[in-house]
Structure 1
Amino acid sequence: MHDLLAITLKRLEGAADGDRDALAALIGEGRAVSAGRVLVEEGSRPQLSMLLLSGFVGRVSILNEGGRQISGLNVPGDFVDLHSLLLKKMDHSLVALTDVVVATISHVDLRLICEARPQLMRALWRETVIDGAINREWLLAQGRMAAAERLAHRFCELYVRLEAVGLAADYRFDLPITQSDAADMLGITPVHVNRSLKTLRKQGLLEWRGGPAVIHEWRTLTQLAQFDPIYLQARLITPGA
Protein backbone atom coordinates (compact mmCIF):
# COMPACT_ATOMS: atom_id res chain seq x y z
CA MET A 1 0.00 0.00 0.00
CA HIS A 2 2.94 2.33 0.67
CA ASP A 3 4.19 1.58 -2.86
CA LEU A 4 0.76 2.38 -4.28
CA LEU A 5 0.65 5.65 -2.36
CA ALA A 6 4.09 6.55 -3.73
CA ILE A 7 2.94 5.81 -7.30
CA THR A 8 -0.21 7.86 -6.79
CA LEU A 9 1.68 10.84 -5.45
CA LYS A 10 4.33 10.61 -8.16
CA ARG A 11 1.76 10.98 -10.92
CA LEU A 12 0.56 14.32 -9.51
CA GLU A 13 2.08 16.17 -12.43
CA GLY A 14 3.49 19.60 -11.61
CA ALA A 15 3.64 19.04 -7.86
CA ALA A 16 7.03 19.32 -6.18
CA ASP A 17 8.45 16.60 -3.94
CA GLY A 18 7.75 18.80 -0.93
CA ASP A 19 4.11 19.10 -2.02
CA ARG A 20 3.79 15.33 -2.28
CA ASP A 21 5.40 14.79 1.12
CA ALA A 22 3.09 17.35 2.73
CA LEU A 23 0.03 15.69 1.22
CA ALA A 24 1.19 12.22 2.27
CA ALA A 25 1.54 13.42 5.86
CA LEU A 26 -2.15 14.40 5.89
CA ILE A 27 -3.52 11.12 4.53
CA GLY A 28 -4.76 8.85 7.29
CA GLU A 29 -4.17 5.14 7.75
CA GLY A 30 -6.07 2.78 5.48
CA ARG A 31 -9.26 1.19 6.74
CA ALA A 32 -10.97 -1.89 5.33
CA VAL A 33 -14.55 -1.74 4.08
CA SER A 34 -16.46 -4.81 2.96
CA ALA A 35 -18.06 -5.24 -0.46
CA GLY A 36 -21.51 -3.72 -0.83
CA ARG A 37 -21.03 -1.02 1.79
CA VAL A 38 -21.91 2.57 0.92
CA LEU A 39 -18.84 4.75 1.48
CA VAL A 40 -20.56 8.06 0.72
CA GLU A 41 -24.32 8.42 0.36
CA GLU A 42 -26.12 10.54 -2.22
CA GLY A 43 -27.41 13.74 -0.61
CA SER A 44 -24.76 13.69 2.14
CA ARG A 45 -22.29 16.46 2.92
CA PRO A 46 -18.87 14.77 3.12
CA GLN A 47 -16.16 16.29 5.28
CA LEU A 48 -13.48 13.93 3.96
CA SER A 49 -12.09 12.80 0.62
CA MET A 50 -10.76 9.30 0.03
CA LEU A 51 -7.77 7.66 -1.61
CA LEU A 52 -8.51 4.11 -2.75
CA LEU A 53 -5.69 1.75 -1.78
CA SER A 54 -7.21 -1.56 -2.86
CA GLY A 55 -10.38 -2.86 -4.46
CA PHE A 56 -12.93 -1.17 -6.70
CA VAL A 57 -15.43 1.59 -5.92
CA GLY A 58 -18.40 2.51 -8.10
CA ARG A 59 -20.14 5.84 -8.52
CA VAL A 60 -23.76 4.80 -8.18
CA SER A 61 -27.07 6.51 -8.89
CA ILE A 62 -30.32 4.80 -7.86
CA LEU A 63 -33.32 5.06 -10.17
CA ASN A 64 -36.90 5.52 -8.96
CA GLU A 65 -37.84 1.92 -9.73
CA GLY A 66 -34.87 0.67 -7.71
CA GLY A 67 -32.42 0.00 -10.53
CA ARG A 68 -28.99 1.55 -10.50
CA GLN A 69 -26.47 3.03 -12.89
CA ILE A 70 -22.73 2.89 -12.22
CA SER A 71 -21.38 6.02 -13.90
CA GLY A 72 -17.75 5.58 -12.88
CA LEU A 73 -15.32 3.00 -11.55
CA ASN A 74 -12.43 3.91 -9.26
CA VAL A 75 -9.38 1.68 -9.16
CA PRO A 76 -6.55 1.52 -6.60
CA GLY A 77 -4.52 4.71 -6.64
CA ASP A 78 -7.50 6.93 -7.42
CA PHE A 79 -8.60 9.88 -5.32
CA VAL A 80 -12.21 8.77 -5.25
CA ASP A 81 -14.04 11.99 -4.46
CA LEU A 82 -11.84 15.06 -4.61
CA HIS A 83 -14.78 16.87 -6.22
CA SER A 84 -16.75 16.53 -2.96
CA LEU A 85 -14.51 19.28 -1.59
CA LEU A 86 -16.52 21.78 -3.65
CA LEU A 87 -19.98 20.17 -3.57
CA LYS A 88 -22.62 21.18 -1.04
CA LYS A 89 -24.29 17.77 -1.42
CA MET A 90 -23.25 14.58 -3.16
CA ASP A 91 -25.28 13.92 -6.31
CA HIS A 92 -24.39 10.21 -6.33
CA SER A 93 -23.29 7.51 -3.91
CA LEU A 94 -19.92 5.79 -3.67
CA VAL A 95 -20.21 2.03 -3.14
CA ALA A 96 -17.55 -0.60 -2.49
CA LEU A 97 -18.05 -3.09 -5.32
CA THR A 98 -15.42 -5.36 -3.76
CA ASP A 99 -13.71 -5.42 -0.40
CA VAL A 100 -11.70 -2.20 -0.35
CA VAL A 101 -9.15 -0.30 1.69
CA VAL A 102 -9.45 3.48 1.74
CA ALA A 103 -7.46 6.25 3.38
CA THR A 104 -8.97 9.67 4.05
CA ILE A 105 -7.94 13.30 4.17
CA SER A 106 -10.14 15.95 5.75
CA HIS A 107 -11.55 18.75 3.64
CA VAL A 108 -10.18 21.24 6.14
CA ASP A 109 -6.66 19.93 5.56
CA LEU A 110 -7.20 19.76 1.80
CA ARG A 111 -8.29 23.40 1.64
CA LEU A 112 -5.35 24.56 3.74
CA ILE A 113 -2.72 22.63 1.77
CA CYS A 114 -4.18 23.76 -1.57
CA GLU A 115 -4.11 27.39 -0.46
CA ALA A 116 -0.51 27.05 0.73
CA ARG A 117 0.73 24.99 -2.24
CA PRO A 118 -0.76 26.15 -5.57
CA GLN A 119 1.23 23.65 -7.63
CA LEU A 120 -0.30 20.82 -5.63
CA MET A 121 -3.74 22.37 -6.03
CA ARG A 122 -3.32 22.38 -9.82
CA ALA A 123 -2.13 18.77 -9.77
CA LEU A 124 -5.17 17.65 -7.77
CA TRP A 125 -7.44 19.69 -10.01
CA ARG A 126 -5.92 17.85 -12.98
CA GLU A 127 -6.94 14.56 -11.37
CA THR A 128 -10.58 15.71 -11.33
CA VAL A 129 -10.28 16.88 -14.96
CA ILE A 130 -9.08 13.40 -15.96
CA ASP A 131 -12.04 11.90 -14.09
CA GLY A 132 -14.26 14.12 -16.25
CA ALA A 133 -12.52 12.89 -19.40
CA ILE A 134 -13.11 9.27 -18.36
CA ASN A 135 -16.77 10.07 -17.77
CA ARG A 136 -17.07 11.57 -21.26
CA GLU A 137 -15.54 8.44 -22.81
CA TRP A 138 -18.04 6.28 -20.95
CA LEU A 139 -20.87 8.51 -22.16
CA LEU A 140 -19.64 8.30 -25.75
CA ALA A 141 -19.40 4.51 -25.58
CA GLN A 142 -22.82 4.29 -23.94
CA GLY A 143 -24.48 6.26 -26.69
CA ARG A 144 -22.62 5.13 -29.80
CA MET A 145 -21.24 1.61 -29.33
CA ALA A 146 -22.73 -1.86 -29.40
CA ALA A 147 -22.64 -3.77 -26.11
CA ALA A 148 -19.63 -5.95 -27.01
CA GLU A 149 -17.66 -2.89 -28.17
CA ARG A 150 -18.60 -1.05 -24.98
CA LEU A 151 -17.44 -3.99 -22.87
CA ALA A 152 -14.19 -4.19 -24.83
CA HIS A 153 -13.61 -0.48 -24.21
CA ARG A 154 -14.01 -0.92 -20.43
CA PHE A 155 -11.48 -3.73 -20.36
CA CYS A 156 -8.97 -1.76 -22.42
CA GLU A 157 -9.33 1.24 -20.13
CA LEU A 158 -9.07 -0.81 -16.94
CA TYR A 159 -5.93 -2.56 -18.17
CA VAL A 160 -4.19 0.75 -18.83
CA ARG A 161 -5.31 2.27 -15.52
CA LEU A 162 -4.28 -0.79 -13.50
CA GLU A 163 -0.97 -1.21 -15.32
CA ALA A 164 -0.12 2.38 -14.43
CA VAL A 165 -0.26 1.50 -10.70
CA GLY A 166 1.47 -1.86 -11.03
CA LEU A 167 -1.68 -4.01 -10.78
CA ALA A 168 -1.73 -5.33 -14.35
CA ALA A 169 0.91 -6.85 -16.60
CA ASP A 170 1.20 -9.11 -19.63
CA TYR A 171 -2.41 -8.25 -20.51
CA ARG A 172 -3.69 -9.81 -17.28
CA PHE A 173 -5.38 -8.22 -14.27
CA ASP A 174 -7.85 -9.09 -11.56
CA LEU A 175 -11.40 -7.72 -11.76
CA PRO A 176 -13.45 -9.37 -8.98
CA ILE A 177 -16.71 -7.53 -9.67
CA THR A 178 -19.93 -9.28 -10.63
CA GLN A 179 -21.59 -9.44 -14.04
CA SER A 180 -24.44 -7.45 -12.46
CA ASP A 181 -21.92 -4.69 -11.65
CA ALA A 182 -20.66 -4.82 -15.23
CA ALA A 183 -24.24 -4.60 -16.49
CA ASP A 184 -24.88 -1.51 -14.37
CA MET A 185 -21.73 0.09 -15.81
CA LEU A 186 -22.78 -0.63 -19.38
CA GLY A 187 -26.50 0.08 -19.08
CA ILE A 188 -27.51 -3.44 -20.16
CA THR A 189 -28.75 -6.62 -18.44
CA PRO A 190 -26.48 -9.28 -16.92
CA VAL A 191 -27.73 -11.66 -19.63
CA HIS A 192 -26.56 -9.20 -22.29
CA VAL A 193 -23.18 -8.91 -20.54
CA ASN A 194 -22.84 -12.68 -20.69
CA ARG A 195 -23.68 -12.70 -24.40
CA SER A 196 -21.16 -9.93 -25.07
CA LEU A 197 -18.47 -11.83 -23.17
CA LYS A 198 -19.21 -14.92 -25.25
CA THR A 199 -18.84 -12.85 -28.40
CA LEU A 200 -15.42 -11.55 -27.31
CA ARG A 201 -14.38 -15.02 -26.15
CA LYS A 202 -15.38 -16.64 -29.47
CA GLN A 203 -13.29 -14.04 -31.30
CA GLY A 204 -10.33 -15.01 -29.14
CA LEU A 205 -9.99 -11.50 -27.67
CA LEU A 206 -10.79 -11.73 -23.98
CA GLU A 207 -11.45 -14.09 -21.06
CA TRP A 208 -13.23 -12.97 -17.89
CA ARG A 209 -15.53 -14.82 -15.51
CA GLY A 210 -15.76 -12.41 -12.60
CA GLY A 211 -12.13 -12.69 -11.44
CA PRO A 212 -8.88 -12.79 -13.43
CA ALA A 213 -9.16 -11.10 -16.83
CA VAL A 214 -6.91 -12.08 -19.74
CA ILE A 215 -6.67 -10.05 -22.94
CA HIS A 216 -5.46 -12.34 -25.73
CA GLU A 217 -5.36 -9.86 -28.62
CA TRP A 218 -4.68 -6.34 -27.36
CA ARG A 219 -4.47 -4.56 -30.70
CA THR A 220 -7.58 -6.22 -32.09
CA LEU A 221 -9.50 -5.49 -28.88
CA THR A 222 -8.50 -1.81 -28.99
CA GLN A 223 -9.57 -1.61 -32.63
CA LEU A 224 -12.96 -3.14 -31.83
CA ALA A 225 -13.39 -0.75 -28.91
CA GLN A 226 -12.05 2.28 -30.82
CA PHE A 227 -9.89 2.76 -27.74
CA ASP A 228 -7.45 5.67 -27.69
CA PRO A 229 -5.95 6.03 -24.19
CA ILE A 230 -4.97 9.69 -24.62
CA TYR A 231 -7.91 10.78 -22.45
CA LEU A 232 -6.25 9.11 -19.47
CA GLN A 233 -3.44 11.69 -19.62
CA ALA A 234 -1.27 11.39 -16.47
CA ARG A 235 -2.52 7.84 -15.90
CA LEU A 236 -1.29 6.82 -19.34
CA ILE A 237 0.94 3.87 -20.03
CA THR A 238 0.43 2.44 -23.50
CA PRO A 239 0.64 -1.37 -23.56
CA GLY A 240 2.43 -2.91 -26.48
CA ALA A 241 4.12 0.35 -27.51
Structure 2
Amino acid sequence: MLRELTLNPRAVAPRRDIAMPPAAESVHLVLGGIACRYKILLDGTRRIVSYLLPGDLCDVHASASGAADWSIGTLTPCAIADIPRERLAELARAHPGIDRALRWITLTELSTAREWLANDSRPADRRIAHLFCELLVRLQAVDLAGDSSIDLRLSQVDLADTAGISFVHVNRVLQSLRASGLIVSGKHVLTVPDVARLRAFAEFDPGYLHLAG
Protein backbone atom coordinates (compact mmCIF):
# COMPACT_ATOMS: atom_id res chain seq x y z
CA MET A 1 0.00 0.00 0.00
CA LEU A 2 2.81 2.39 0.87
CA ARG A 3 4.80 1.52 -2.25
CA GLU A 4 1.81 2.44 -4.43
CA LEU A 5 1.99 5.98 -3.04
CA THR A 6 5.62 6.42 -4.15
CA LEU A 7 5.54 5.03 -7.70
CA ASN A 8 5.92 8.38 -9.46
CA PRO A 9 8.47 10.53 -7.63
CA ARG A 10 9.49 13.87 -9.09
CA ALA A 11 13.03 15.14 -9.38
CA VAL A 12 13.67 18.47 -7.66
CA ALA A 13 16.85 20.46 -8.25
CA PRO A 14 18.90 21.87 -5.36
CA ARG A 15 17.70 25.09 -3.71
CA ARG A 16 14.11 24.73 -4.84
CA ASP A 17 10.99 24.83 -2.70
CA ILE A 18 9.04 21.62 -2.28
CA ALA A 19 6.25 23.29 -0.33
CA MET A 20 5.54 26.72 1.11
CA PRO A 21 2.95 27.80 3.68
CA PRO A 22 0.04 27.71 3.94
CA ALA A 23 -0.68 24.92 1.43
CA ALA A 24 -0.66 21.46 2.96
CA GLU A 25 -2.84 19.28 0.73
CA SER A 26 -0.04 16.75 0.30
CA VAL A 27 2.52 15.05 2.49
CA HIS A 28 5.92 14.98 0.80
CA LEU A 29 8.15 11.93 1.17
CA VAL A 30 11.88 12.34 0.56
CA LEU A 31 13.13 9.35 -1.44
CA GLY A 32 16.60 10.70 -2.26
CA GLY A 33 18.79 13.68 -1.38
CA ILE A 34 18.69 16.11 1.54
CA ALA A 35 15.92 18.66 2.09
CA CYS A 36 15.15 20.97 5.01
CA ARG A 37 12.49 22.90 6.84
CA TYR A 38 13.33 26.58 7.01
CA LYS A 39 12.04 30.03 7.85
CA ILE A 40 12.92 33.35 6.23
CA LEU A 41 13.36 35.96 8.94
CA LEU A 42 12.29 39.58 8.68
CA ASP A 43 15.82 40.67 7.77
CA GLY A 44 15.79 38.25 4.80
CA THR A 45 18.10 35.65 6.33
CA ARG A 46 17.23 31.96 6.26
CA ARG A 47 17.20 29.71 9.32
CA ILE A 48 17.17 25.97 8.77
CA VAL A 49 15.23 24.28 11.58
CA SER A 50 15.53 20.60 10.58
CA TYR A 51 16.91 18.29 7.93
CA LEU A 52 14.84 15.83 5.90
CA LEU A 53 16.64 12.70 4.71
CA PRO A 54 15.56 9.75 2.55
CA GLY A 55 12.59 8.06 4.21
CA ASP A 56 11.39 11.23 5.96
CA LEU A 57 7.83 12.52 5.58
CA CYS A 58 7.40 16.29 5.50
CA ASP A 59 4.56 17.89 7.45
CA VAL A 60 2.81 14.70 8.46
CA HIS A 61 1.78 16.61 11.59
CA ALA A 62 0.65 19.90 9.99
CA SER A 63 -1.41 22.08 12.28
CA ALA A 64 -5.08 21.43 12.97
CA SER A 65 -6.01 23.94 10.28
CA GLY A 66 -4.17 21.79 7.74
CA ALA A 67 -1.61 24.52 7.07
CA ALA A 68 2.13 24.32 7.55
CA ASP A 69 3.95 27.25 9.16
CA TRP A 70 7.36 26.78 7.50
CA SER A 71 8.80 26.21 4.06
CA ILE A 72 10.36 22.99 2.81
CA GLY A 73 13.21 23.21 0.32
CA THR A 74 15.91 21.05 -1.21
CA LEU A 75 19.57 21.41 -0.29
CA THR A 76 20.79 18.78 -2.79
CA PRO A 77 19.13 17.13 -5.80
CA CYS A 78 16.11 15.28 -4.39
CA ALA A 79 13.52 12.72 -5.40
CA ILE A 80 10.14 13.57 -3.86
CA ALA A 81 6.89 11.61 -3.73
CA ASP A 82 3.77 13.73 -3.20
CA ILE A 83 1.17 11.83 -1.19
CA PRO A 84 -2.38 13.20 -0.85
CA ARG A 85 -2.92 13.89 2.84
CA GLU A 86 -6.38 12.31 2.83
CA ARG A 87 -5.03 9.14 1.21
CA LEU A 88 -2.41 8.80 3.95
CA ALA A 89 -5.13 9.38 6.57
CA GLU A 90 -7.22 6.61 4.99
CA LEU A 91 -4.28 4.21 5.21
CA ALA A 92 -3.70 5.14 8.85
CA ARG A 93 -7.33 4.42 9.67
CA ALA A 94 -7.24 1.08 7.85
CA HIS A 95 -3.83 -0.13 9.06
CA PRO A 96 -2.93 0.28 12.77
CA GLY A 97 0.76 -0.29 12.01
CA ILE A 98 0.84 2.74 9.70
CA ASP A 99 -1.07 4.79 12.29
CA ARG A 100 1.48 3.87 14.99
CA ALA A 101 4.35 4.72 12.63
CA LEU A 102 2.91 8.17 11.86
CA ARG A 103 2.51 8.91 15.56
CA TRP A 104 6.09 7.72 16.15
CA ILE A 105 7.29 10.11 13.42
CA THR A 106 5.55 13.03 15.13
CA LEU A 107 6.99 12.20 18.56
CA THR A 108 10.48 11.75 17.10
CA GLU A 109 10.31 15.09 15.30
CA LEU A 110 9.29 16.83 18.53
CA SER A 111 12.15 15.15 20.38
CA THR A 112 14.59 16.20 17.66
CA ALA A 113 13.29 19.78 17.72
CA ARG A 114 13.96 19.94 21.48
CA GLU A 115 17.51 18.64 20.95
CA TRP A 116 18.15 21.24 18.23
CA LEU A 117 16.89 23.92 20.62
CA ALA A 118 19.32 22.74 23.31
CA ASN A 119 22.10 22.50 20.73
CA ASP A 120 21.72 26.21 19.98
CA SER A 121 23.18 26.96 23.42
CA ARG A 122 26.44 25.14 22.65
CA PRO A 123 29.50 26.87 21.15
CA ALA A 124 29.50 26.93 17.34
CA ASP A 125 32.14 24.20 16.94
CA ARG A 126 30.20 21.78 19.15
CA ARG A 127 26.94 22.79 17.45
CA ILE A 128 28.23 21.82 14.02
CA ALA A 129 29.95 18.70 15.37
CA HIS A 130 26.59 17.68 16.86
CA LEU A 131 24.96 18.14 13.45
CA PHE A 132 27.59 15.91 11.81
CA CYS A 133 26.99 13.23 14.46
CA GLU A 134 23.24 13.35 13.86
CA LEU A 135 23.59 13.13 10.09
CA LEU A 136 25.95 10.16 10.39
CA VAL A 137 23.52 8.24 12.63
CA ARG A 138 20.44 9.07 10.57
CA LEU A 139 22.07 8.19 7.25
CA GLN A 140 23.43 4.95 8.71
CA ALA A 141 19.84 4.07 9.71
CA VAL A 142 18.82 4.09 6.02
CA ASP A 143 22.03 2.43 4.79
CA LEU A 144 23.39 5.61 3.21
CA ALA A 145 26.53 6.02 5.33
CA GLY A 146 29.51 3.94 6.34
CA ASP A 147 30.74 3.41 9.87
CA SER A 148 32.50 6.75 9.91
CA SER A 149 31.87 8.62 6.66
CA ILE A 150 29.01 10.24 4.78
CA ASP A 151 28.45 11.69 1.36
CA LEU A 152 27.74 15.27 2.42
CA ARG A 153 26.89 17.79 -0.28
CA LEU A 154 25.86 20.61 2.03
CA SER A 155 27.42 23.99 1.40
CA GLN A 156 29.01 26.15 4.06
CA VAL A 157 26.08 28.54 3.58
CA ASP A 158 23.71 25.69 4.48
CA LEU A 159 25.75 24.97 7.61
CA ALA A 160 25.73 28.67 8.51
CA ASP A 161 21.95 28.86 8.16
CA THR A 162 21.62 25.72 10.28
CA ALA A 163 23.89 26.88 13.09
CA GLY A 164 22.73 30.51 13.00
CA ILE A 165 26.22 31.87 12.43
CA SER A 166 28.00 33.62 9.57
CA PHE A 167 29.58 31.92 6.57
CA VAL A 168 32.99 33.20 7.74
CA HIS A 169 32.46 31.70 11.20
CA VAL A 170 31.52 28.33 9.67
CA ASN A 171 34.73 28.35 7.66
CA ARG A 172 36.75 28.93 10.83
CA VAL A 173 34.86 26.21 12.72
CA LEU A 174 35.51 23.65 9.99
CA GLN A 175 39.19 24.56 9.93
CA SER A 176 39.31 24.11 13.70
CA LEU A 177 37.56 20.70 13.58
CA ARG A 178 39.96 19.53 10.87
CA ALA A 179 43.01 20.84 12.75
CA SER A 180 41.86 18.99 15.86
CA GLY A 181 41.57 15.75 13.90
CA LEU A 182 37.84 15.49 14.62
CA ILE A 183 36.84 15.45 10.95
CA VAL A 184 38.44 14.94 7.56
CA SER A 185 36.62 16.53 4.66
CA GLY A 186 37.17 15.84 0.98
CA LYS A 187 35.05 16.51 -2.06
CA HIS A 188 31.50 15.76 -0.90
CA VAL A 189 32.75 13.26 1.71
CA LEU A 190 32.97 13.85 5.44
CA THR A 191 34.98 11.31 7.43
CA VAL A 192 35.07 11.06 11.21
CA PRO A 193 38.36 9.37 12.25
CA ASP A 194 37.13 8.68 15.79
CA VAL A 195 33.33 8.69 16.10
CA ALA A 196 33.34 8.30 19.88
CA ARG A 197 35.65 11.28 20.23
CA LEU A 198 33.47 13.49 18.03
CA ARG A 199 30.37 12.42 19.96
CA ALA A 200 32.02 13.29 23.26
CA PHE A 201 33.15 16.66 21.93
CA ALA A 202 29.65 17.45 20.63
CA GLU A 203 27.87 16.09 23.74
CA PHE A 204 25.92 13.90 21.33
CA ASP A 205 23.57 11.19 22.59
CA PRO A 206 21.51 9.61 19.78
CA GLY A 207 18.69 8.61 22.14
CA TYR A 208 16.51 11.56 21.03
CA LEU A 209 16.32 10.03 17.52
CA HIS A 210 14.56 6.92 18.88
CA LEU A 211 16.20 4.65 16.31
CA ALA A 212 16.73 1.65 18.58
CA GLY A 213 13.80 -0.76 18.44
Given that residues 171 and 218 in structure 1 are in contact (C-alpha distance below 8 angstroms), is that contact kept between their aligned partners in structure 2?
yes
Name the counterpart of 1:11: none
TM alignment of 1:179-198, pairs within 5 A: 179-198=156-175
Given that residues 40 and 94 in structure 1 are in contact (C-alpha distance below 8 angstroms), is that contact kept between their aligned partners in structure 2?
yes
Cα distance, 1:208 vs. partner?
2.9
Identity %: 37
Given that residues 85 and 107 in structure 1 are in contact (C-alpha distance below 8 angstroms), is that contact kept between their aligned partners in structure 2?
no
Structure 1 residues 126 and 87, CA, compared in 2 at 3 Å: closer, same or farther? farther
> Once the two structures are superposed, what CA deviation does each residue of 1:190-210 show, in whole Å capped at 9, x if it has no partner?
111111111111110102367
Scaled by the length of structure 2, what TM-score is found?
0.94
Match of 1:39 among 7, 18, 27: 18
One-letter identity of the residue aligned with 1:27: T
Cα distance, 1:125 vs. partner?
1.1
Cα distance, 1:30 vs. partner?
1.4
Given that residues 140 and 147 in structure 2 are in contact (C-alpha distance below 8 angstroms), is that contact kept between their aligned partners in structure 1?
no
One-letter identity of the residue aligned with 2:17: V
Where 1:84 maps in the other structure, the secondary structure is: coil
Q: Aligned equivalents of 2:8 and 2:119: distance in 1? A: 37
Q: Aligned equivalents of 1:225 and 1:56: distance in 2? A: 22
Counterpart check, 1:80 vs 2:58: yes
TM alignment of 1:43-54, pairs within 5 A: 44-54=22-32
Name the counterpart of 1:4: none
Q: Aligned equivalents of 1:105 and 1:233: distance in 2? A: 25
Cα distance, 1:104 vs. partner?
2.0
Q: Aligned equivalents of 1:53 and 1:85: distance in 2? A: 24
Q: What is the total number of aligned residue pairs between the two structures?
A: 213
Q: Aligned equivalents of 1:191 and 1:210: distance in 2? A: 19
Task: Name structure 2 gaps, 5 residues minimum.
Answer: none
One-letter identity of the residue aligned with 1:220: R
> Once the two structures are superposed, what CA deviation does each residue of 1:80-127 show, in whole Å capped at 9, x if it has no partner?
221237553221000111110011211121111112223321211101
Cα distance, 1:77 vs. partner?
1.6
> Once the two structures are superposed, what CA deviation does each residue of 1:125-170 show, in whole Å capped at 9, x if it has no partner?
1012111111111110102x10000111000010000011111003
Counterpart check, 1:117 vs 2:64: no
Q: Aligned equivalents of 2:62 and 2:7: distance in 1? A: 18
Name the counterpart of 1:62: 40
TM alignment of 1:1-241, pairs within 5 A: 22-42=1-21, 44-84=22-62, 86-143=64-121, 145-208=122-185, 211-234=188-211, 236=212
Where 1:49 maps in the other structure, the secondary structure is: strand
Task: List, as ranges, runs of 4+ consecutive aligned residues in structure 1 with deviation greater than 6 Å.
Answer: none
Task: Name structure 1 gaps, 5 residues minimum.
Answer: 1-21
Scaled by the length of structure 1, what TM-score is found?
0.84
Q: Aligned equivalents of 2:58 and 2:144: distance in 1? A: 17
Larger fraction in helix = 1
